[in-house]
Structure formats: C-alpha cells, structure tokens
Chains A and B, each alone.
Chain A
C-alpha cells in the first residue's frame, strides 16, 4: 500500500513539473528588447490583459504593471542582467509566465516545444478515459466475483 501511495505521489510530482498555464501560451521574440506575445489556445491574441514584470533582483514585487496591446504583445527594455519574468493574466483565471534572460542582450532560454499536437492529444485522451473507466469496471467486477467465491 505504501509503495502504491509513494508511486502516486512521485507521478503527481513529475506531472506538476511538466504542467503549468492554461489556455494562454506565450512566445518570445529576441533582440535588444524583451517581447512577449501571448495567445489563447485557439490562437486569439490575449489583448489588453494585465502584465506584471519582475526584475531579476526583485522576484516578489513587480517592477512594472502594464497591459498587452491589441495583438497580445508586451515589450520592455531590461536594464539589469539576469532572468526577467513576465506574467500575463487575462483576469479570468488564465495566467502564463515567461522568462527572458538579459545578458547585455535578451536571450530566450531553450524552449520546451514538446507539446503534443492537439489531434493526437485528443485521441490519446479518449483512449485513456475509456481505459481508466474500463479498468475501474474490471476491478469492481473482479472484487464482486472474489466476494462471491
């Protein structure tokens, strides 16, 4: 039993590391300034949404409160070396955070683009749903049969 619980906790922790953000995604454009463009999961720009900018030396308190433009973009010029954090919040519970490293010029860290294409995700999700509930039915039937024996 304790092994099962430990396995579940480990799985949960691993998934937590890979899972963040909702329907908003953000892309970074690099150059002399930091630019973050945010989109809803259907590609609609997250326009006129609250932006919080966190400097490398002040990670708790934002150094700037602003808003994305009508194209979902926010641009700033860093003045301190380190990792700058930009949070875009559409006010309806959807938040995305992007990080940009400034080292004389803006460098976007290696981006994880391993997100599954939607159509494969849907198929995998459906398979998992029916698998989970089928497994649950099997366990219940098994338990009932054992109780009868």
Chain B
C-alpha cells in the first residue's frame, strides 16, 4: 500500500511531508532509550512483513501490521515506520523518497488512532478474550484507514474517490483479516508474557 513517485501533486507531497515530519518529531521526543529496542523491532517487523507475500485465493497478500505497531509504540510509530518505508523505497523501489512523507502518514496515522482506541478500551476491557477481540478489530481497522487515506491522497491528485476506494478496500479485505488475526494473537501473547508493554505510562516518558 505505497504510492509511487510521480502520482501526487507538489502541494499534496509537501503537506504529507510536513505532517509526517511533525509526527516523526513528536515520536522522537517520546522515544526513550529504553523504548528504542521495541521501536527498532517493530520497524523491522513492518519492513519484513510487507515483503513476504502469501497466496490467498486468486491473488496473494502481505501483512502490513501498522495497527500492531501503533498499539505497541504510540507516537513512536511515526519514526519506526518512516525508517522502514525509507529503506523499502531505497532498496526495493517501493514508494519513493518524494512520497515518503505521504506514505509515512498513510501508514502511521491509523496506527496512532489504533493506539488511542486500544488504550481507551484497555482501561475498560480486561479479559484476555475481549482484549484479543479489540486488537483484531483495531488491526483490521488500521489497514482499512490506511486504504482510505491512500484513496484520499489519490483523490487529491484528481482521481475519483469512490471508484478508487472501492478497488483498494476490496483488494485489501484479505490483508485486513490477516492483519487483524496477527495483531490479536500478538497482543494476546504480549498480555500473557509482558503485560507492561501494553501500558504506555510504563514506557512513554511524561509529555
């Protein structure tokens, strides 16, 4: 779910870059030294997950895991995904450098939304089964939101929003299912072995 070079107009690219830089700046400010290995790990997971294609029905899918990254990283999801997207652009020509800001925003913003919803729900829902359910929904929702943001960016470039949105959402339904299940399983596992990783006050420095 990357946008290539040459698709978007200058103002859209500039706006995306400014917003992404703001998010990265906030993320870096909130990234403590103790939190850095987790950030690097999730950046690596995002980097690799996008490159592994799994046959699914007539096509094949790859994980995105921006929801999982967001839930576990909070604002730090911006620098984590920016680094991974930068390396994907340089090494595999996925996306590009001028669209790096827009692509970072498309991936990281839904992660941030997932983070806020998860921690709102985590205070209410305590049973592991329900936490798993919330994580599944948020993992899928992050992919859906990324698709809608991608469509919005393309629509700003002059394409019909609804036509592109329908195509992108339909193409990513298998990804939503896969991402939701993996996010749920990962959160459930973390809840059992390191529940403190799910409590932001334990790893985020005070704002």
Q: Which residues of A contact B (CB under 8 A)?
A: 12, 15-16, 18-25, 41-42, 44, 89, 91-97, 115-116, 118, 121-122, 124-126, 128-130, 132-134, 136-137, 140-141, 144
B93 engages A22 (CB within 8 Å) = yes
B36 engages A133 (CB within 8 Å) = yes
A125 engages B91 (CB within 8 Å) = yes
**Which residue of chain B has its CB nearest to the CB of A141?**
B33
A122 engages B51 (CB within 8 Å) = yes
Using a Cβ–Cβ cut-off of 8 Å, how many residues does chain B contribute to the interface with A? 44
B96 engages A129 (CB within 8 Å) = no
What is the number of contacts between chain A and chain B, taking CB atoms within 8 Å?
A: 118
* B198 adjacent to chain A (CB < 8 Å): no
CA distance A91 to B60 in the complex (A): 18
CB-defined contacts of A128 to chain B, threshold 8 Å = 87
Q: Which residues of B contact A (CB under 8 A)?
A: 1-7, 28, 31, 33, 36-37, 39-40, 43-44, 47-48, 51, 53, 59-60, 83-84, 87-98, 150, 153-154, 159, 164, 167-168, 171
CA distance A20 to B6 in the complex (A): 9
B40 engages A19 (CB within 8 Å) = no
B5 engages A20 (CB within 8 Å) = yes
CB-defined contacts of B164 to chain A, threshold 8 Å = 91-92
CB-defined contacts of A91 to chain B, threshold 8 Å = 159, 164, 167
CB-defined contacts of B51 to chain A, threshold 8 Å = 118, 122
Q: Which of B4, B40, B84, B96 has the most CB of A within 10 A?
A: B4
B4 engages A129 (CB within 8 Å) = no
B98 engages A16 (CB within 8 Å) = yes
B97 engages A15 (CB within 8 Å) = yes
A92 engages B92 (CB within 8 Å) = no
CB-defined contacts of B7 to chain A, threshold 8 Å = 89, 93, 95
A36 CB to closest chain B CB (Å) equals 16
CB-defined contacts of A23 to chain B, threshold 8 Å = 2, 94
CB-defined contacts of B154 to chain A, threshold 8 Å = 92-93
Known: A22-B95, A121-B92. A92 touches B6 (CB 8 A): no
B5 engages A133 (CB within 8 Å) = no
CA distance A144 to B33 in the complex (A): 10
A130 engages B40 (CB within 8 Å) = yes
A67 CB to closest chain B CB (Å) equals 14
